[in-house]
Amino acid sequence: MLRLRACGGTAPASVPTLVRARLSRRASSAASAAATVASASSSSSALEELAAERRGLAKVVLKKGKTQIFRDGSPMVYSGAVDRIIGRPPPKSGDVVLVADGTEKPIGWGLYNSVSMFCVRLMQLEEEARRDPTCTLNMERLLEARISSAVDLRRSLGLPSADTNAYRLINSEGDRLSGLIVDIFADVAVIASSAAWVEKYRQEIQFLVSKVMENGIVYLVSLEGQKTGFYADQRENRSFISLLSKDHCGGFALNAAKGGANNVIGIDSSGLALDLANENIVLNELNHGKISFVKGDATTFMKGAISENELWDLVILDPPKLAPRKKVLQSASGMYRSLNTLAMQVVKPGGLLMTCSCSGAMTQSGMFLKTIQGAASMTGRKVTVLRQAGTACDHPIDPAYPEGQ
């Protein structure tokens, strides 16, 4: 969230980062990042001994020097890290396999995919299997344990609550189920799959998810569409907009209007999105005189507003993913800068701009704030960062796999 003013004045203050950590009961010191810590009981059984009891279990052997990143917790074993696969017949997609270092000693186990660049999704490391073997090499038991942990975490976060019944129940790597996403919308669960193993265990997943819901409906979808049908990751940011919208001027526009904004205009190029938005005006009993949606290109709209010298107290810029891959980051940076340059020109002095990026390549590059500053310089505006936000707290991240963000 940025506050804009005319050039001149004092330099912007430094921006503190606020971190809220959820600690395990055994923790005795403060943490520097929000995390949940899995508990474990001690056991003398090792993964290698347990694997010996199962016939036909293939072993994926890693190349020399490629082991440590996976020992450290990254669950995505990419094909370039694999030296060879031991086992006849070879494993099929969805099969349980061992993952071993160059000496063929197992470091963990996971689920194989013969056609993906990520040939194994690691599910459990050898050390965890030694401490607690109850779920080792047993995907059904592991699913039950991990989904139960995910439910407990959301309950500890107060979800669902009196304010919302839309939230993320399972966030892939963040809940240690790489490739699986589950979003809850009241009594409907949408299960999104980006891994072959999810398709193989779909009945088990549907059964376990339905146990946490009352009179629920469960859908399984692919991730080729617009996420799971609703941007649950922006929930807390929409709530923040609602708080800011008192006497100030899709989801953000509705929250602005609900928060008390006098006049709200939403611009989108998708006719379907606008149809849903207009239905939501009625659903939320909002005043059509205060909120409206326009079908069009946001760039064209802002250029027209600049030519007419139209200004707003609050502008929300939430473009689609402009940098899906690192190799297009440079060109995407230019597009982000251009959009923000236009957006800043339609914000009143002292007004607010909420600018968003859903491109992981952009946010992880650390270039987003530099891009914003570049836009400010081009418009002769001075900006102060008031708030940096990400996904809601029901979208946990595994620090061993930061790409999951």
> Position 181: which residue type?
I
Residue 8 reports pLDDT greater than 60:
no
pLDDT of residue 41: 39
Which part of the chain has CATH 2.30.130.10? 47-130
pLDDT tens, residue by residue, 148-201 = 999 999 998 899 988 888 899 999 999 999 999 999 988 889 999 999 999 999
| Topology, domain 232-404 | Rossmann fold (3.40.50)
Angle between helices 329-344 and 368-379 (to 10 degrees): 40
The domain defined by 47-130 folds into 2.30.130
CA 358 – CA 174 distance, rounded (Å)? 18
Q: What is the mean pLDDT of residues 307-327?
A: 91
Answer for the pair 216, 187: CB distance below 8 angstroms, yes or no.
yes
- Give the mean model confidence (pLDDT) for residues 60-67: 96
pLDDT score of 17: 30
Half-sphere exposure of 328 (CA within 13 A, CB side): 10
Secondary structure class of 371 (helix, strand, coil): helix
- Is the Cα torsion angle 359, 361, 362, 366 positive or negative in sign? positive
> What gap in Å lies between CA 403 and CA 13, rounded to an integer?
30
pLDDT tens digits for range 33-52: 444 444 433 433 478 888 88
pLDDT in tens, 342-376: 999 999 998 989 999 988 888 888 899 999 999 99
Q: Which has more pLDDT, 208 or 47? A: 208
pLDDT band at 74 (very low <50, low <70, confident <90, very high): very high
Nearest of 236, 256, 231 to residue 352 by alpha carbon: 256
Contact predicate 290/264, CB 8 Å: yes
How confident is the model at residue 261, as a pLDDT? Answer: 80
User: Thinking of the domain 139-209, which architecture would CATH place it in?
Assistant: 2-Layer Sandwich (3.30)
pLDDT of 153 reads: 92
Domain with CATH 3.30.750.80 in the chain: 139-209
Q: How many Å apart are CA 111 and CA 388, to the nearest integer? A: 36
Residue 285, pLDDT above cutoff 50: yes
Beta carbons within 8 Å of 6's beta carbon, 6+ residues apart: 349, 380, 381, 382
Q: Which residues have C-beta within 8 Å of that of residue 351, sequence separation ≥ 6?
A: 3, 4, 311, 312, 313, 314, 315
Instruction: Give the integer Cα–Cα distance in Å for 187 and 195.
Output: 25
- Numbered ranges of CATH 3.40.50.150 in the chain: 232-404
User: Model confidence over 231-276: pLDDT tens digits?
Assistant: 566 666 666 666 665 544 456 777 777 777 888 899 999 898 888 8
